[in-house]
Amino acid sequence: MPSPDDAAPGSAAAADAAAGDAAAPASDSDAVVSEGPEGSAGVPPAEASEPMRQEQQELHGRLSVLGDSVIESTQVFDDIVVRIKLESWRRAAEVARHELECDYLSFISGIDWAPAPKEGGDEGASDTSAPVQPTEMTPGAAGAAGRYQVFAHVQSTRRHWGVTFKADVDESDPRVESWVSVYPGADWHERECWEMYGFSFDGHPSLRHLYLPSEFEGHPLRKDFPLLARVVKPWPGLVDVEPMPGEPAEASATAETTDQ
Amino acid sequence: MTRPTTASERPAGPAGLDPGAFRHLADAQVNVELDTGDMILNLGPQHPATHGTLRLVVRLDGERVISADPVIGYMHRGYEKLTEFRTYPQVTTLINRIDWLSSFANEVPFLDGAEQLMGIEAPPRAKYIRTVLTELSRIATFLLFLGEMGLQVGALTPAFYGFRDREHILNLIEAATGGRFHPNFNRIGGLKEDLPWGWMAECRDAMKIVFDACHTFENLVLGNEIFEARTKNIGIIPAEVGASYGVSGSNLRASGVDWDLRRDGRPYLVYPDLDFQVHTHPDGDSYSRYVVRLEETREAARMVLQCLDAMPSGPIMAKVPRIIKVPEGEVWVETENPLGQMGYYVVSKGATGPFRVKIRSASFSNVSILPWLLQGVYVPDVITILASLYFILGDIDR
């Protein structure tokens, strides 16, 4: 298992990046190609070629069929993310299939935007082997109203474009319309989403477990579902860490105390 | 009915039994309609045609399949959950094990996504080496298919050729990366190491072997009457049905859909600079899937040679921070992997690890068409169809 330090063996970056707080990406001007993570809505990224830009504009034009159903739409790199009202979820599939010529279903899945609970409680705070996620809830591209979102990606094999649809799902009663009648391939994706997030898909022919045993309880991909392997036994990576030369030996001492 | 009573009067049957004694039982059933109730056949989870642990619950009427229900999850490892507890460099070791026949190709889209979010671009030499290794893993995957597809329909010889020739490719991958199956050679911003001395010459030699192998398979398998009888018109996937199920890659191109993400998707690696052809076939049956993969193997070998000819010199790592923190944002990346469309939807919250990774693996969608595809086929054709769809269990279960 490589540690983050393995990422750039022998590269010059390792020398001049301060250990610990190197949050900024490499600022080499010739290495940077893309824009920030989110451009403004409807503007194709700067590096898009001319035919690609035209395609994107036509796609945006056709998306206007959805009208009021669209809450927000944004361009994320080369992909268009459209957040629609939950009640228009199935209509979005129909529009995608017939108006946008998106005949290909890539995936349907869910996101839980809740902040991840700190692994191992407060005692695990010094465990740097696991990434520390922010504690407040921040929405992703095209925004989010609540905790749960269902999202799907469809593509066109003829026009070579794709759209990502998102919709907010009610936290107390997570219900979504099924896409099976539009895209038959949605069957397994929705079964997976149902067992992993607990979203119930109205109109799905048989919502049953796909991966997990039928007696399994809980929805593993929800953020409040703990990764049981780490709860039972803390990640051993920290034990092996020796202090860097010149660093106080305290770091390893605290590691041993948290690993009891 | 009079029966002989003593042993001496009976004609001696096998094991001393009198065949006449049971004749009346046979007579009774002659004019009764045979009970042909449905039969449930459990194919797998340890069936050799399933490359792992796929179970098919097939309902049969005689030799004909009424309905088929694939049962998956025997190998589910929960990678989407595990990625949330790992740093970006650690995630690559996981995604190596999704499609274990072409592990290198799995790493590329994920790192591509992370690099896009960070605003880093790998140096040209790293991109070229990545392309070579991706195409090598495609060749290795397809050589195994070309041999093993014959095996599944009863021809033993191609399997040996397939395994033998794939070994050359695996040796190349091992020489460059240190691992035959799980290289974990990609780093955010480039590669772990440069190619070893003499590797490119060896790679050129190996491509000759690949062309020879394709020639062998073409002569040995495609001209074979039995192979054609077993695969032609078996398991036809119409283009629009396949697309709506999310069937991708060679399987969809064999149905006549001219769609290859290397050419039609967002530009990645050095594919825009390469001159290559996308092969399709109009039929959509098992035979055409074999033909398309055979052509794509050749095309991949040609691409490798093109990359070797154009291989630039220079660094193999971009300037990256020592501790990788990916800025907040999300990105959808997709690549044309040997088995089809491989995609990652990466959501980052500015931490050292991803917040959410949706892994879109090719085999999952390719296999999800089975309940539709297997209706009405005969039992031996189930094996042909499974073999021709060509899936990897790790790619279904993730």
Report the half-sphere exposure of B193 (CA within 13 A, side-chain side). 13
B29-43 pLDDT, tens per residue? 555 555 667 888 888
A 178-217 residues inside an 8 A Cβ radius of B: 183-185, 187-188, 196, 209-213
User: What letter would DSSP give residue B41?
Assistant: E
Q: Are B288 and B254 in contact (CB under 8 A)?
A: yes
A37-117+141-225: CATH topology: Beta Polymerase; domain 2 (3.30.460)
* A135 part of contact set with chain B, CB < 8 Å: no
Mutate to test the interface with A, among B75, B87, B363 (most CBs of A within 10 A): B87
Which of these, B339, B292, B302, B378, lies nearest to B109 by C-alpha position?
A: B339
User: Over 70: is that where the pLDDT of B25 sits?
Assistant: no
Mean pLDDT rounded to a whole number for chain B: 85
Tokens 């589910």 belong to: B76
Whether A26 and B76 lie within 8 Å, measured CB to CB: no
**Looking at the partner chain, which of A13, A22, A109 has a beta carbon nearest the beta carbon of B358?**
A109
- HEC string of A201-221? EECCCCCCCCCCCCCCCCCCC
User: Over 60: is that where the pLDDT of A65 sits?
Assistant: yes
B127-150 pLDDT, tens per residue? 999 999 999 999 999 999 988 888
C-alpha A66: how far from chain center:
24
Tokens 């899936």 belong to: B391
C-alpha A248: how far from chain center:
38
B 76-95 residues inside an 8 A Cβ radius of A: 76, 78, 80-82, 84-90, 92-93
In the prediction, which pLDDT does A15 show?
38
Q: How far is CA A192 from CA A139, A195, A208, B98, in A?
A: 23, 5, 9, 17
**Looking at the partner chain, which of B85, B323, B347 has a beta carbon nearest the beta carbon of A140?**
B347
Q: Reduced to 3 DSSP states, what percent helix, strand and coil does chain A have, rounded to the nearest 5?
A: 30, 15, 55
Pairing label, strands A162-169, A79-84: parallel
User: Over 80: is that where the pLDDT of A118 sits?
Assistant: no
A254 phi, psi to nearest 5 deg: -65, -30
Whether B349 and A153 lie within 8 Å, measured CB to CB: no
Report the half-sphere exposure of B2 (CA within 13 A, side-chain side). 2
Mutate to test the interface with A, among B81, B332, B375 (most CBs of A within 10 A): B332
B 276-305 residues inside an 8 A Cβ radius of A: none
**What is the C-alpha to C-alpha distance for residues B25 and B28, in angstroms, rounded to an integer?**
5
Query: Chain B contacts of A161, Cβ < 8 Å?
Result: none
For the beta carbon of residue B110, count every other beta carbon within 10 angstroms. 27
- HEC string of B258-299? CCCHHHHCCCCCCHHHCCCCCCCCCCCCHHHHHHHHHHHHHH
A169-178 pLDDT, tens per residue? 888 888 898 9
User: Over 50: is that where the pLDDT of B398 sits?
Assistant: yes
pLDDT class of A108 with cuts at 50, 70, 90: very high
Q: How far is CA B184 from CA A87, A157, A174, B192, in A?
A: 44, 31, 39, 9
- List all residues 6 or more positions away from B309 whose beta carbon is below 8 Å from its beta carbon: none
**What is the C-alpha to C-alpha distance for residues B40 and B46, in angstroms, rounded to an integer?**
17
**What is the C-alpha to C-alpha distance for residues A254 and B158, in angstroms, rounded to an integer?**
59
User: Over 70: is that where the pLDDT of B117 sits?
Assistant: yes
Whether B240 and A103 lie within 8 Å, measured CB to CB: yes
**What is the C-alpha to C-alpha distance for residues B211 and B297, in angstroms, rounded to an integer?**
8
Which of these, A31, A50, A185, lies nearest to B317 by C-alpha position?
A: A31
Q: What percent of chain A clears pLDDT 90, i.e. is strictly above it? A: 7
Which of these, A84, A140, A112, lies nearest to A224 by C-alpha position?
A: A112
Tokens 């002989």 belong to: B4
**Looking at the partner chain, which of B72, B90, B331 has a beta carbon nearest the beta carbon of A210?**
B72
**Greatest C-alpha distance within chain B:** 100
In the prediction, which pLDDT does A79 show?
84
Query: Chain B contacts of A4, Cβ < 8 Å?
Result: 87-89, 322-324, 352
Higher pLDDT, B28 or B269: B269
A69-106 pLDDT, tens per residue? 788 888 888 788 888 888 888 888 888 888 888 889 99
Tell me, what's the ipTM?
Answer: 0.81
In the prediction, which pLDDT does B28 show?
53
Higher pLDDT, A141 or B244: B244
Task: Label residue A101 left, alpha or beta by phi (over 0 means left) and psi (-120 to 50 means alpha).
Answer: left
In the prediction, which pLDDT does A123 show?
45
In the prediction, which pLDDT does B60 show?
87
**What is the C-alpha to C-alpha distance for residues B349 and B329, in angstroms, rounded to an integer?**
7
Q: Average pLDDT for residues B98-119, to the nearest whole number?
A: 88
Mutate to test the interface with A, among B322, B347, B352 (most CBs of A within 10 A): B322
A191-233 pLDDT, tens per residue? 999 999 989 898 888 888 888 888 888 888 888 887 777 777 6
Higher pLDDT, A121 or B200: B200
* B365 part of contact set with chain A, CB < 8 Å: yes
Which of these, B221, B207, B122, B342, lies nearest to A153 by C-alpha position?
A: B342
In the prediction, which pLDDT does A238 show?
54
B 305-364 residues inside an 8 A Cβ radius of A: 317-325, 327-332, 334, 341, 343, 345, 347-356, 358, 360, 364
**What is the C-alpha to C-alpha distance for residues B68 and A122, in angstroms, rounded to an integer?**
49
* B252 part of contact set with chain A, CB < 8 Å: yes
B333-379 pLDDT, tens per residue? 999 999 989 999 999 888 888 888 999 999 899 999 999 999 889 88
In the prediction, which pLDDT does A66 show?
78
Question: pTM of the full predicted structure?
Answer: 0.78
Buried b (16+ CB within 10 A) or exposed e, A60-94: bebbebbeebbbebbbbbbbbbbbbebebbbbbbe
Q: Strand pairing partners for B357? A: B346
B242 phi, psi to nearest 5 deg: -60, -45
**What is the C-alpha to C-alpha distance for residues B366 and A195, in angstroms, rounded to an integer?**
21
In the prediction, which pLDDT does A208 show?
86
A127-170 pLDDT, tens per residue? 555 666 777 777 777 777 788 899 999 998 888 888 899 998 88
B62-71 pLDDT, tens per residue? 888 888 888 8
In the prediction, which pLDDT does B359 show?
92
Q: What percent of chain B clears pLDDT 70, i.e. is strictly above it? A: 89
**What is the C-alpha to C-alpha distance for residues A25 and B122, in angstroms, rounded to an integer?**
13
B 3-62 residues inside an 8 A Cβ radius of A: none
DSSP state string for B209-228: HHHHHHHHHIIIIIT-HHHH
Domains of chain B: 48-397 (1.10.645.10)
Q: Strand pairing partners for A109? A: A151
Which of these, B85, B137, B185, B107, lies nearest to B344 by C-alpha position?
A: B107
Mutate to test the interface with B, among A29, A74, A106 (most CBs of B within 10 A): A106
Domain ranges (residues) in chain A: 37-117+141-225, 226-260
